[in-house]
Amino acid sequence: MPSSPIRKLSPLANEAKKQGVKVYHLNIGQPDLPTPQQALDALGRIDRKTLEYSPSEGYPFLRDKLVKYYAKFGIDITPAEIIVTTGGSEALLFSFMACMDPGDEMIMVEPGYANYISFARTAGIKVKTVTSRIEDGFALPSMEAFEKAITPRTKAILLCNPNNPTGYVYSPAELQTLKELVIKYNLFLIADEVYREFVYSGQPYQSAMTLGIPDNVILVDSVSKRYSECGIRIGMLVTHNKLVHDTVMKYCQARLSPPLLGQIVAEASIEGTEAYAKECFDEYKARRDFFIKGLNEIPGVYSPKPEGAFYTVVELPVADAEDFCRWCLTDFRLNGETVMMAPAAGFYSNPELGKNQVRMAYVLKIEDLAKALEVLKAALIKYQELH
């Protein structure tokens, strides 16, 4: 089981904080924007005398609301086709275990969300990767690259759209390429669409659920990012495929139920938060514009402009980005401050890739991003002097 590149340096950050150092966390996608007030109010109004098990598939009151939410994105679904999970993480794990046997293979684009590999290893699944390149803005690799990775044991393609860690948004043409592969090789398409609310290009977002291959697509979702509710651990697994649904339900029954309090909070967040969503979108877009411009003004630093989510993979003028990230936490201070980043090598399966890259999350207010950029620039100058 690999260590998380997002969290494995946390002990170093915690030690720095104990010493009174201000650490700017660019390593983790923890939104700093407030949770919708109506969601917090719903939590405060709970009048249950017993905090009971919920149904294994989640409460109907939440699944009914989700049907209306998905309809806004052209996704036609029924409550019976939605399973509420303990975060998007559980939806991913159950998807893997329902669709693949130990020893089967799944293809994903790298760099990719590091925990995909952890969940796959938990399920005994082999991950094969096709590599997207920073020089191409992390666009989808060619159909030929996917076909080279396909073997008789390949059962699924996993796609994160908008992408974590790169922020890339896959176009309708790229999704069509995936559709052709799925049909040609009879594969599942597991689509992690947690960041659909954050697409900055102005183009309409296309979900994998609208590709016209209903039995092949499994949608993984979560309320964590769009409502700043990471801690309530509410995700969703959505599919038209009844056999997949019924198989996933066996795992859901074995784990009993998703979080009761989280479902109450999530249900209260879905309707009447349009103004909240617009404010969040505008804030993240402004942060993106400010942060990416600032990064690319630092000598030797390069970041493509991400069109979605709130992450970017950044190339640094260092040979070993993980060593640099550690050094920032243990040795470097600028006026009592430093930065924490996620070494991007942990988002690749090939150990030779991403060595001079980091993933950064622009989830801090612009004033803090500005200070983080100052610290990063100064740290790079000092590190290069030492090396």
Average pLDDT over every residue of 236-247: 98
The pLDDT assigned to 5 comes to: 78
Question: Which residues, in sequence order, are bridge partners of residue 352?
Answer: none
The pLDDT assigned to 179 comes to: 98
pLDDT in tens, 40-65: 999 999 999 999 999 999 999 999 99
Q: Please state which of the four CATH numbers 1.10.1490.10, 3.40.630.30, 3.90.1150.10, 3.40.640.10 is assigned to the domain occupying 10-34+275-386.
A: 3.90.1150.10
The helix (H) or strand (E) run that includes residue 368 is helix 366-386
Average pLDDT over every residue of 216-241: 97
Question: Which residues, in sequence order, are bridge partners of residue 308?
Answer: 199
The pLDDT assigned to 170 comes to: 97
DSSP labels, 250-292: HHHHHT----HHHHHHHHHHHSS-HHHHHHHHHHHHHHHHHHH
- The second-level CATH assignment, the architecture, of 38-270 is 3-Layer(aba) Sandwich (3.40)
Q: Does 2 score more than 80 pLDDT? A: no
Range from 66-70, 156-160, 200-204, 383-387 carrying the lowest mean pLDDT: 200-204
Q: To the nearest whole percent, how much of the chain has pLDDT over 90?
A: 94
Q: Does 196 score more than 80 pLDDT? A: yes
The pLDDT assigned to 8 comes to: 86
Q: Does 203 score more than 90 pLDDT? A: no
Question: Which residues, in sequence order, are bridge partners of residue 120?
Answer: none
Q: How far is CA 170 from CA 114, 122, 161, 354, 371, in A?
A: 19, 28, 6, 21, 32
The pLDDT assigned to 3 comes to: 78
Domain spans, the chain? 10-34+275-386, 38-270
pLDDT in tens, 294-329: 999 999 999 999 999 999 999 999 999 999 999 999
Average pLDDT over every residue of 362-377: 97
pLDDT in tens, 22-33: 999 999 988 899
Average pLDDT over every residue of 371-382: 98
Average pLDDT over every residue of 136-151: 97
Q: Does 350 score more than 90 pLDDT? A: no
Do the domains spanning 10-34+275-386 and 38-270 agree at the CATH topology level?
no
Q: Does 376 score more than 90 pLDDT? A: yes
The pLDDT assigned to 351 comes to: 80
pTM of the model: 0.95
* Mean pLDDT value across the chain: 96
